[in-house]
């Protein structure tokens, strides 16, 4: 045995941890079908057993509370279908299945068929909420499609009679279990919907196993419910039971009794509502009567006011009031005009020519000495500026360069000759000197 690389040596716990990670990462959620064995449920509420067939077995655990939700009693020899994840119990180095769902194997096949059909119809949009129709507020006649001898029909009729005795409920008898049940349900639903006799249809039965309720998972029934021209309510089984008819119906009720309560209003609630509306009506009538009486009183007062003597007295009072307002208005206007005259007199006095001449003489005396000083100062500044400009111009003038003995060669059109390449033999040029110009002719260039 080679122990040179000590990092390759694992402890049992490290090995089991690696094995557990490998198992959990390799195997997704899986389904296993087999026979129960060594079933035990300790006080903790967890469930431990093995799943076995003719050749092998695997340890399984189902922890609380999932183990308490089972719809059957786990016991030796029961054939089941289980779903869970594969893991490894590190303390013992034993791999096992930790389950989150388990059902008897026969029901499991039906459950898979149910899920497949549900997914198919959902993909077609058969269960979409936007195609659901609202229930009528006050249904006059309800068709109850169910077994006439079951407990469900008794519960429905009892609730309808208690809540709203005015509604007509007709039992449309069909089989709700067995090979012929689905066809009868479809036929009765289509005939009842096409008759135009009912405002709403209730499809219902009592609880049972998935196999007992299977006729309500028929594809033809789901499509007939979706195609019905009137609303359909489905109440199949108990609250935890679901069928395809529940998803296809316009409303799913958890139990037949609840469905009956949803279909009709309570007569007690209606009575309270009617009493409230009656009280509101009486209040509105009383308010309108009071308003009419007030209008009558005002009309009587206006009629009394329209008598000739009363009208004359009223006109005299209006005349006197108008004269008072007129006198007051003339007085206010006279005061305003007097104030304007006083203000105009003050303005004229302030603008008298003699006063203006005095002020102008004072201003003239103040400014007479300013122009000469300003002109002298301005001329001095401009002379300094001109001298500076002359020096700057002389520094950059080409004439200054010519005065030092240089010359400027130009073509007759004024272009300056800067290189021998700017002239060719025979060209006539002008040479600018400090005291004049000389005409030249190019003989040759080198």
pLDDT means per 10 residues, the chain with 446 residues, are 61 82 81 90 91 91 89 84 88 88 74 81 87 87 90 89 88 88 91 92 84 84 90 86 87 89 83 85 88 86 71 83 89 89 80 74 72 77 84 70 73 84 84 82 80
What is the three-class DSSP state of 371?
helix
What is the three-class DSSP state of 197?
coil
Instruction: Using the CB atoms, write b or e for 28-37: b if 16+ within 10 Å.
Output: eeeebebbbe
> What is the model's pLDDT at position 385?
85
pTM above 0.85, yes or no: no
> What is the model's pLDDT at position 1?
45
The first and second tokens of residue 423, run together, are 């002239």
> What is the model's pLDDT at position 48?
93
Q: Report CA torsion sign: 293, 299, 301, 303.
A: negative
> What is the model's pLDDT at position 5?
55
Half-sphere exposure of 366 (CA within 13 A, CB side): 6
> What is the model's pLDDT at position 363?
78
pLDDT tens string 250-266: 999 888 989 888 888 87
Please identify which residue in the block is written with the tokens 């300094």: 384
Give backbone dihedrals phi and psi of 125, rounded to 5 degrees, phi first.
Answer: 85, 15
What CA dihedral angle connects 174, 180, 185 and 186, to 10 degrees? -150
Using alpha carbons, list the distances in angstroms from residue 38 to 129, 327, 412: 47, 120, 127
User: Which residues have CB under 8 Å from 277's CB, separation 6+?
Assistant: none
In contact, 262 and 233? CB cutoff 8 Å: yes
List beta partners, residue 79: 35
> What is the model's pLDDT at position 197?
92
Using alpha carbons, list the distances in angstroms from residue 306 to 187, 283, 301, 312, 315: 82, 35, 9, 10, 12
The first and second tokens of residue 90, run together, are 């590190």
> What is the model's pLDDT at position 100?
92
Going by DSSP bridges, is the β-strand pair 141-146/168-173 parallel, antiparallel, or unpaired? parallel
């Amino acid at each position: 045995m080679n122990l040179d690389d000590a990092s390759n040596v694992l402890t049992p716990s490290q090995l089991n941890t690696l094995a557990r990670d490998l198992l959990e990462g390799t195997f997704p959620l899986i389904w296993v079908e087999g026979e129960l064995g060594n079933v035990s449920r300790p006080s903790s509420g967890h469930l431990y057993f093995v799943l076995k067939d003719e050749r092998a077995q695997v340890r399984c655990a189902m922890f609380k509370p999932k183990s308490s939700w089972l719809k059957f009693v786990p016991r030796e020899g029961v054939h089941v279908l289980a779903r869970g994840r594969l893991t490894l119990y590190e303390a013992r180095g034993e791999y096992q299945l930790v389950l989150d769902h388990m059902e008897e194997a026969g029901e499991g096949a039906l459950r898979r068929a149910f899920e497949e059909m549900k997914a198919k119809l959902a993909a077609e949009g058969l269960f979409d909420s936007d195609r659901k129709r609202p229930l009528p507020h006050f249904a006059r006649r309800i068709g109850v499609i169910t077994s006439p001898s079951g407990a469900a029909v008794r519960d429905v009729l009892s609730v309808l009679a208690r809540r709203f005795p005015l509604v007509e409920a007709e039992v449309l008898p069909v089989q709700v279990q067995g090979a012929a049940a689905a066809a009868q349900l479809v036929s009765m639903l289509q005939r009842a919907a096409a008759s135009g006799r009912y405002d709403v249809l209730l499809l219902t039965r009592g609880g049972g196993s998935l196999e007992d309720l299977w006729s309500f998972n028929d594809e033809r029934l789901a499509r007939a419910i979706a195609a019905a021209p009137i609303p359909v309510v489905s109440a199949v089984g108990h609250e935890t039971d679901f069928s395809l008819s529940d998803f296809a119906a316009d409303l799913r009720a958890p139990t037949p009794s609840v469905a009956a309560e949803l279909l009709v209003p309570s007569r007690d609630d209606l009575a309270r509502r009617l009493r409230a509306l009656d009280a509101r009506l009486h209040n509105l009538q009383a308010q309108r009567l009071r308003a009419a009486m007030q209008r009558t009183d005002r009309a009587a007062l206006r009629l009394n006011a329209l008598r000739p003597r009363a009208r004359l007295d009223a006109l005299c009072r209006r005349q006197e009031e108008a004269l008072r307002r007129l006198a007051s208005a003339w007085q206010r206007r006279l005061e305003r005009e007097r104030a304007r005259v006083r203000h105009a007199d003050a303005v004229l006095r302030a603008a008298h020519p003699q006063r203006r001449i005095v002020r102008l003489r004072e201003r003239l005396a103040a400014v007479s000495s300013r122009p000469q000083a300003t002109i002298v100062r301005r001329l001095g500044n401009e002379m300094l500026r001109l001298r500076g400009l002359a020096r700057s111009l002389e520094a950059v003038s080409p004439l200054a360069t010519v005065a030092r003995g240089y010359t400027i060669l130009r073509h007759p059109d004024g272009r300056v000759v800067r290189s021998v390449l700017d002239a060719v033999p025979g060209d006539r040029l002008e040479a600018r000197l400090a005291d004049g110009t000389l005409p030249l002719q190019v003989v040759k260039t080198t």
